[in-house]
Homo-oligomer: A and B are copies of this chain.
Amino acid sequence: MTGIDAMLLARRMDRLMRRLNAAFHQRAEPLDTDKVGPLGGMVIMALADLGPTPVSALTAELGRDKSQMTRLIQMLERKGYVVRSSHPEDKRVSVMALTERGEAFTAQMRVILAEVAGDLLGSLSEGERAAFMESLGKI
């Protein structure tokens, strides 16, 4: 017994994600001159938070498929946002890191995301916002 309407939850989550994506892309697309796309942006954000990271760890962090990650990384590398280096102790793993260009892109994204989050969470009180973030972290 959760006491909540699971179907309503699913529909609300879906709506929220749709709106978040729409709001974000509307502002981010004009700046995304290299077309790294939403998922490319997610990879860059994850690297910004995590620092240099093996592909496998990045894949787990983002919850995507490893083959998808391969293609995404190749694209980002080609466009100069990330670099790969092979792990000194295990030649199978390659470690991803942001380039300066990747860092600059991250800074831009932070600004946009803050705006979008501000708009989206504007209807919540300070306390509700904090509680929402905390619950999101626990889930």
Contact B19 A117 (CB under 8 A): no
Knowing A11-B46, A12-B136, A42-B14, the reply to whether A110 touches B6 (Cβ < 8 A) is yes
Interface residue range, chain A = 35 or more
**Residues of B with C-beta under 8 A to A138:** 123-124, 128
Contact A18 B63 (CB under 8 A): yes
Give the oligomeric copy count: 2
Decide yes or no whether A48 CB sits under 8 A from chain B: yes
**Residues of B with C-beta under 8 A to A7:** 45, 48-49, 109-110, 113
Contact A121 B2 (CB under 8 A): yes
- Could you tell me the distance in whole angstroms from the C-beta of A123 to the nearest C-beta in chain B? 5
**Residues of B with C-beta under 8 A to A48:** 7
**Partner among B20, B22, B64, B129 whose Cβ is within 8 Å of the Cβ of A10:** B20
**Residues of B with C-beta under 8 A to A6:** 110, 113-114, 116-118
Most chain B Cβ neighbours within 10 Å, of A14, A45, A130: A14
Chain A residues with a Cβ under 8 A of chain B: 2-4, 6-20, 22, 24, 42, 45-46, 48-49, 62-64, 109-110, 113-114, 116-118, 120-121, 123-124, 126, 128-133, 135-139
